[in-house]
Structure 1
Amino acid sequence: MSQDPPRIVIAGAGHAGGSAAAFLRQYGWKGSIVLVGEEPDAPYQRPPLSKAWLKGEATAESLALRPARFYAQQAIEMRLGTRVAAVDRAARQVTLSDGAVLGYDRLILALGARPRSLPLPGARLAGVMALRGAADADALQAALGPGKRLAVIGGGYIGLEVAASARALGAEAVVIERETRVLARVAGHALSAFLEAQHRIRGVGILTGVEVAAIEGDAGAAQSVRLADGRQVPCDTVLVGIGAVPNTEVAQDAGLDCAAGIVVDLAARSSDPAIYAIGDCTQRPLPLYGRSGRLESVPNAIEQAKQAAADICGRAPPPPEVPWFWSDQFDLRLQMAGLAFDVHEAVMRGDGSEPGFTVFHLDAAHRVLAVEAVNAPADFMAGRLLVAKQARVAPEILRDPAQPLRGLTAS
C-alpha cells in the first residue's frame, strides 16, 4: 500500500498492542497509527483482574495502561468495540468486524489468546465462567462473597489467584486439578508443594490427580462439579482455568506461518515482511534455550512490542530479555525468571516451608536455567541476572543463604 502519511494498523488493543502504539511514537514513527480493539476499553492491565480488581482494591483508572488523554495527544486513532476479521495481504488491507476496511503499510497482529473451553457436559450452564477481560472479572466479582462457593477447574496461576481472592472475599473455594500437583506445567515441585500447603492453611480445598466428568445444575445454573470417581464438589460458581488458546485464525486465513502461535523472529516479523505479531498469539524464538515457544506474560508483550516498533522505525533491536513472570496470592509474592528446560538439579535456598525462599534450576553443567522466588526479591533479581548470563554456579553456593549472590552477577 502507498499512502500519505504511511499507516500502521495494530490488531488488538491489549497490553501488547497498546505498548506497540506507544513505542512507535517514542521511537519516532511520524505516520498514522490505528489501534483496533474488540473490547470497549482502551488498553489496560490484565494481571490485576484476578487479584486487586476482584477484591475491589483497583479502579479502572489504576488498571489503564496509559491515561485516556495519551492516545489523542499522540495522534493514535482508536477503533474500539470492533476487531480485525480478515487480512488481505495482496491489497494490504484489513476488514473489521463492523465492515470498515483499512489500508496499511505495516500491520501488527496483537491478537492475544482466549481461555481454553471445557468440552464436558454442563459447561454452558449459568455460573460457569472464564477470566480473560474486565467484563469477565466483573461477573466473577459479583458471584463471590460470604457464603458463596467457588469451584476452580485448573490449578494454574489464574486458578490459584482467583481462589486466593475468593477467600479474601469470604467465599469458599475448591481447586480441582487433573495433574498430581498444582502448577505442574509451569513450576517446580518445591514451589507447587509450598503453594498447595499455603492454600490449604488459608482454607482453600485442593483436589489433585482427579478428572472432571461434568458440571451439574438445576434450572440452568451450575450447582456442583462431578468428578470421574463420583464425588461431587458443591458450588454456586465454576471458574474454568485450564489454559489459553492463541488467537491465530485471522493469521492462518491470511496464509501466515503458524505453529503453536503465529511464527515470528526476534524482530517480531511474521512470514510476511509487512506483518508483525506480538504477545500471547506468537510462537517466538527463545535464544537462551535454543528453541522457540509461546510465552503468556506482560514482560513478553512489552518485549515484543519493543522489537516490532524498533524494526519498523529502523532502530537497533532491543537486547533479548530473560522471560519472567509473577503471581500474587494472599500475602505471597511469587517471581519466576527463565524457563526450566532440561533441568538436572533444583537447589533450594532457604526454608521451603516458609515464605522467603528461592529455588534455582540448574543443568548438568551447573548453569542457572531458571529461578523461582517467594517473598525473596533480592534473590530473584540476582537469579534473573544469573539466568541471563547462563552463569555456572556451584550448588553449595546457591544453597547457602550466608553466601552473597551479588558478587556472582558482576560483569
Structure 2
Amino acid sequence: MDRVVIVGASLAGWSSARSLRLGGFDGVIDLVGEEPHRPYDRPPLSKAYLAGDLDLDGISLLTDGEDASVTWRLGVRAVGLRERTVVLASGEELTGDAVVIATGTAPRLLPAAAGLRGVHTLRSNLDADALRAAFVPGARVVVIGAGFIGAEVASTASKLGASVSVLDAAPEPMAQVFGPEMAAVVRGLHGQHGVPLETGVSVAGFSSADGAVTSVVLGDGRELPADVVVVGIGVVPSVGWLEGSGVALDNGVLVDAAGRTSVPGVWACGDVARYPSGRAGGPIRVEHWTHAREHGAAVAKGLLGEPVEYDPVPYVWSEQYGVMVQFAGFVQPGDSVEVVDGDPADHRFVAAYKREGRLVAVLGARIPRTFVRLRRELMTV
C-alpha cells in the first residue's frame, strides 16, 4: 500500500491519518476536506469557541510538525467515487490503494427557513462566528431542538446576555439517550438558569420582514418573537456524493466490524459509518467525539493489516450552564436506573442503569470519580 485517500478532514479522518503515521505507514496520504481549514475540534463550537474564549488556533487538532505528514486538499468537495478513485468538484481525481470515507454529517434543515437571514445551524467555525456576532445582550434567541447542540448553544447564548427560549417537538427530549427519568433531570438545567423550555411543540413556519426572521410560528398558531433562530434538530450522514458508487448505504455507510465497506479497498469511519454492534443489539451510527477518534484509529489498524473488531462502549459529554454531564453506554426502554451517588436536585450525581441486573450505562454530573469507576466497570462487561 503506497497511497491512501481520506475524504473528510475532521476528527475521524485526521485520526485515521495520524494513526497510519504512528503505525509506520510512510506512503502518500491525501486528506480531502470541504472546509478551507485544517482539522479542528468541533465540540467547542457550541461552547468555548462560541463564547469567544478560544480562537481557531486554540481548537486545532494538529500538534507542531504534523501538518507536513499529509498532502492537504482543502476547500474542495468530493463529488463521486469509482472503485478506489475519488472525484473532486475541481475535476481532479485521486486514486489510492485504499480510500477512507470520513465525511461525517450535516445539520438537518427546516425548508421553511430557506433564505431567511437570522436563521442558523451550527457545524463549522464560520457558523459559530456568525452566531457569536448575533448573540448580543438582549437579542431574542429561539433554539429549535433540545438535544446536545441545542442545549449547549442555549447555555452559551444565555451566558452572552441573550434572551433565550428552547423548543422541542418531542414530549421528552433526550429520553432516547438518558431514559425519561434522568432526561428530565438534565433538561431541568434550562429552567434553573432562567431559560424557558417548551416540549411537545411543532414549528409551522417563520414570520419575516425584509428577508430577516422576526418570529417563529408554532403549530398551535402562537408566535415567538425572534431576532436569531438556531436550528438544532439533528444531523444526516453526508453520503450524497456516494450515490452510484456501489458503496452500500443505509442511514450512513454500512461497514463491517473492521470498517470495510461493500466496495473492496474502501473503508469508512466516524459519524458517517454504521457498524455492527453486539452491545447495541444491531447496526448503529454514533455521533460522539470519542467515537470519531477511536473509529478512525481502528480503521487505520485495519489498513495496516491488523483489523480490529470495533464495538466500544459509547461515551459522550456535554457542558451546559457550567455543569459537565457525562454519559456512557446504551439505554433501552425497560432499563432500571438508580442514583448511586449525589443528588440530582443539585445536578451533582451519578446514576447507574441496569438490564436484568447487568450494568449497561452510567450518567454523571460533577462527581467524576464515581462516574469513571462505573465507566471502567461498564467497559469490562
Question: TM-score normalised to the size of structure 1?
Answer: 0.89
Which structure 2 segments of 5+ residues have no match?
none
Q: 2:15 aligned with 1:19, yes or no? A: yes
* 1:185 aligned counterpart, secondary structure: helix
1:159-238 correspondence to structure 2 within 5 Å = 159-238=150-229
Equivalent of 1:152, from 117, 140, 143? 143
Identity of aligned residues (%): 38
Structure 1 residues 7-45: Cα deviation after superposition (integer angstroms, max 9, x where no partner): 100001011111111000001111110000000100010
Equivalent of 2:43, from 38, 43, 47? 47
CA distance in 1 between partners of 2:81 and 2:307 (Å) = 29
* 1:138 aligned counterpart, secondary structure: helix
> Which residue identity does 2:76 align to in structure 1?
T
Q: 2:79 aligned with 1:85, yes or no? A: yes
* 1:300 aligned counterpart, secondary structure: helix
Give the structure 2 partner of residue 284 of structure 1.
Answer: 275
Give the structure 2 partner of residue 118 of structure 1.
Answer: 110
Q: 2:265 aligned with 1:269, yes or no? A: no
Equivalent of 1:359, from 351, 369, 374? 351
CA distance in 1 between partners of 2:104 and 2:64 (Å) = 22
Structure 1 residues 111-150: Cα deviation after superposition (integer angstroms, max 9, x where no partner): 110001113x344311111001111111111100211111
* 1:39 aligned counterpart, secondary structure: coil
CA distance in 1 between partners of 2:114 and 2:141 (Å) = 15
Q: 2:250 aligned with 1:254, yes or no? A: no
Conserved in 2, the CA contact under 8 Å of 1:10 and 1:35?
A: yes
CA distance in 2 between partners of 1:180 and 1:210 (Å) = 8
> Which residue identity does 1:340 align to in structure 2?
V
Give the structure 2 partner of residue 407 of structure 1.
Answer: none
> Which residue identity does 1:113 align to in structure 2?
T
Tell me the CA shift for residue 153 of structure 1: 0.6
Structure 1 residues 239-266: Cα deviation after superposition (integer angstroms, max 9, x where no partner): 0000000011223320111111101112
Conserved in 1, the CA contact under 8 Å of 2:8 and 2:101?
A: yes
1:299-378 correspondence to structure 2 within 5 Å = 299-315=290-306, 317=308, 320-349=311-340, 350-363=342-355, 365-378=356-369
* 1:54 aligned counterpart, secondary structure: helix
Tell me the CA shift for residue 319 of structure 1: 6.6
Tell me the CA shift for residue 320 of structure 1: 4.1
* 2:30 aligned counterpart, secondary structure: strand
CA distance in 1 between partners of 2:64 and 2:266 (Å) = 27
Conserved in 1, the CA contact under 8 Å of 2:86 and 2:94?
A: yes
Structure 1 residues 352-372: Cα deviation after superposition (integer angstroms, max 9, x where no partner): 111221121111x21111111
Which structure 1 segments of 5+ residues have no match?
391-411
CA distance in 2 between partners of 1:98 and 1:176 (Å) = 40
Structure number with the bigger relative contact order (C-alpha 8 A, sep ≥ 6) is: 2
